[in-house]
Amino acid sequence: MKTRMAIWAGKTAGTLSRTMGNDGTTIPGVVARKVDPGFLRHLRKTAKTIIYITGTNGKTTTANLTAHLFRFAGKRIIANLEGSNMVTGLSAALVRNTPLFGWRVNEIAVMEVDEASLPKVVAECPPDYLIVTNFFRDQLDRYGEVDVLIEKMKDSLRPFDIKFILNSDDPFVHRFSDLQKENIYVGLDADAYPFQSYTMGESKYCPECAKELTYSTIHYGQLGHYHCHCGFSRPEPTFSAEKVDTGRQGLRLIMDGEAYSTTLKGMYNAYNALLAMTVCRTLGINESHIQAGLISYHQSNGRMQEFLLNGLKWKLNLVKNPAGGNVTLSEFIRTNDSKQLIFCLNDEPADGEDISWIWDIDFEVANREDVCGFIASGKRAYDAAIRMKYAGIPAEKIMILPDLKAAMLYAKATEVPAYIMATYTCLAPLIKILSKSADKQQKGDESIGTVTLPLLSRYLKPVWGQRQYHLFKKAMRMAGYYPASRRNK
């Protein structure tokens, strides 16, 4: 009975949240867990096979692509595609997928899981498969040092029978091999692709003896082919990409002599594609379904997302740590075409309140003639501009516009394609601004024209919004979230 009440309260809270104009992706899980604190354990009732995807970079893309491939192959799945990857977000996905009565049985659950949240998630509902993408320094104020984070994750996984799918090119990920589980490794061959080299990189020291690792090939960061005199070395991949090519349509990978084309952009996405393909192969998905699914997948979540403005192709990508910033820059400067670079930087809790990581982004590589302008935007626009200035970029080429919309309008007026790097909380507003501008151009009419329902709803909102607020507060109080006032008692 308690579980049914949790589902009802979560669904009600989510509906009210969306009616109030919010996205409502996490609140169903928050409310459900107030009623039933261990609510996520019920994920096992609704999925025969559970897959978790974790790591620093690439987990959202890997999770969404994996879910798409399974769906394309005709599998019934449950997934947290909205990107809410903490225990409340996973619980919210379960609430949305579950009817008020009974349980909807899915073949597979594909869940993206925040690294720091993994111990709590696994304690409630251990997975059958765990995919680990990579580890980089990221939000040190929340995660702490990578070594400490990895040990906490390993301790939480030790008691359970879990199959691992690991990135063999990352020595940090290779440390999960200590758990003596069934491991499947993926990686890139030494000459798969000539990655851009950087003056700034991650730690490249052996986790066993603390001596510096020897690399025969470095892809980016600490990812590559490594070994140490103490015996710690890159495991031989079970599945590897022999060659990776880039084109206007996306990536093309050669694996076991077979060619796979995907719409994913950015060389670092080769790892994400490999991990998704590997788990699908492991669970028996037909090769033809994988190949067709890769071609039909399209991203719309700010990960190398493209927008057409004024006939020019703009690109937007999430950047949340130095490694992500560097590989994004390498993609942006692949051509010598005229372009402008926009860096949108916020310091909200979801972004990481410590922004010192921007000094480890190699902005020096963007100080080129073909990059005709730089725009610093977001709440910490001035910090972003100072970093650009210290990279040797002339002050006259840097424009500081903290307001995101103003920055986009200014960039649009220059009639030069823009490449945008954005932190988490900048991403959703930017997608909304750019999508709206692109849609208007597609329709060929940027004027309002007649009065529409959205315009009318603006005047109704003050009245309707009051009712929404009280309904929402009532639902939260039923879940024990707010105490009742004397009058309400």
255's tokens? 């694996």
Question: What is the Cα–Cα distance from 230 to 292, expressed in whole angstroms?
Answer: 44
Sign of the Cα torsion 79, 81, 86, 87 reads: negative
H-run or E-run covering 42: none
Tell me how far apart the alpha carbons of residues 346 and 312 are, in angstroms, rounded to a whole number: 26
In the 8-state DSSP scheme, what is residue 484? P
- Report helix, strand or coil for 276: helix
Distance CA 42, CA 351 (A): 31
**Euclidean distance between CA atoms 223 and 217, whole angstroms:** 9
Vertex 458 angle, CA 456 and 462, to 5°: 120
- The string over 31-52, giving b where at least 16 C-beta atoms fall within 10 Å of a residue's C-beta and e elsewhere, is bbbbbbeebbbbbeebbebbbb
Q: Per-residue DSSP letters for 207-233?
A: TTT-PBPEEEEEEETTEEEEE-TTS-B
Instruction: Kindly report the number of other CB atoms within 10 A of residue 71's CB atom.
Output: 15
Contact 345, 376 (CB under 8 A): yes
Cβ neighbours, 10 Å, residue 461: 13
DSSP-derived pairing of the beta strands 371-377 and 339-344: parallel
Is 191 part of the annotated catalytic residue set?
no
CB 300 within 8 A of CB 427: no
Tokens of 450: 């007649």
Residue 419, CA distances (Å) to 107, 136, 272, 330, 412 in order: 39, 23, 22, 12, 12
Q: Which of 178, 354, 370, 439 is catalytic?
A: 354
Task: Print the SS3 string covering 340-398.
Answer: EEEEECCCCCCCCCCCHHHHHCCHHHHCCCCEEEEEEECCCHHHHHHHHHHCCCCHHHE
Question: Which are the catalytic amino acids?
Answer: 354
